[in-house]
Amino acid sequence: MITDLQLLYIGNIAQGERLGTIAAQRGTNVLCAESMIEALGMYITLFPNVTIIDAAHPDAESIYQHLRSVDAAPILVLVDESLPVLWTLRHDILRAHGVLTVSRHLSASVLFDTIADLANGLSLVSSGHRRVG
């Protein structure tokens, strides 16, 4: 089991900070990035255990492509099932590259538990898509 996780969150800083609050209570550090350059720089210099990308971020697909070009994994992509983004719809392809998609509406606590499971290599569900009410 991985302890002392370091996470990279790319998206809305307020949401990243909520995740950071929960993570800090569990001994984990969350780095938050708003821009593509900031996110890629943090990834290359800090090599986080898990990278979280909010698909609603304007550069989400580009960030994902750049991270995949250096075989970054695992990656968790936060999606909105009611407003899907085209590049996130192929869960089978994403999963083959170490990417898990989950609802962006998860509470910070449930999101952290999902991230911890991913970092520890646990199979969440056979479909690779975890939906939590």
User: Looking at the domain assignment, is residue 37 inside a domain?
Assistant: yes
Residue 118 belongs to a domain: yes
Report pLDDT for 115. 87
For 51-93, write each residue's pLDDT tens digit: 999 999 999 989 998 998 888 878 888 988 776 666 665 655 6
Q: Is residue 1 part of a domain?
A: no
94 or 39: which leads in pLDDT: 39
Residue 110 in domain: yes
CATH of the domain at 125: 3.40.50.2300
Query: What phi, psi does 54 have (nearest 5°)?
Result: -80, 120
Strand partners, 6: 29
Provide the domain limits for residue 59.
Answer: 6-130
Specify the number of domains making up the chain: 1
User: Which element (helix H / strand E) includes 59?
Assistant: none
Lowest mean pLDDT segment, chosen from 37-46, 56-65, 66-75, 115-124: 115-124
